[in-house]
Amino acid sequence: MIVQTHFKVAGRDFVRTTSDADRYVVRDGVSYSEACDPAEFNRQYTEGEPMEDISLEEAMEILMGGGEE
C-alpha cells in the first residue's frame, strides 16, 4: 500500500511517498525507493516491483561502476 507522510522543511510542506510492502513507488514509468515532493505538486504514485536487498559489497560495485573483468 502507498504511504504518504507530510512534513515541513523551512516552513514549506512536503510529502514523502513510500510503500509499506517494500516495493518501489512509480510515477510516469520511473521507479523510486521513496519520493519526496513539494505538497503543492500533488504527485500520485503507484506501487511497482519489489525492492531487492543487496549486500554492501554489491552496492559498492554498482556505485563505483566496477565488476569483475
pLDDT per position as a tens digit, 4-55: 999 999 999 999 999 999 999 999 999 999 999 999 999 999 999 999 887 8
Better-predicted residue by pLDDT, 9 or 68: 9
- What phi-psi label fits residue 65: left (phi over 0), alpha (psi between -120 and 50 degrees) or beta? left
pTM, whole model, 2 decimals?
0.75
What is the C-alpha separation between 27 and 35, in angstroms, rounded? Answer: 10
With bands split at pLDDT 50, 70 and 90, how would you rate the model's confidence at 69? low
Burial of 45 (0-12, 13-18, 19+ CB in 10 A): buried
Which three cell numbers, joined as nine digits, stand for 36?
Answer: 519526496
With bands split at pLDDT 50, 70 and 90, how would you rate the model's confidence at 63? confident
- What does the domain layout of the chain look like in residue ranges? 2-64
Which three cell numbers, joined as nine digits, stand for 67?
Answer: 565488476
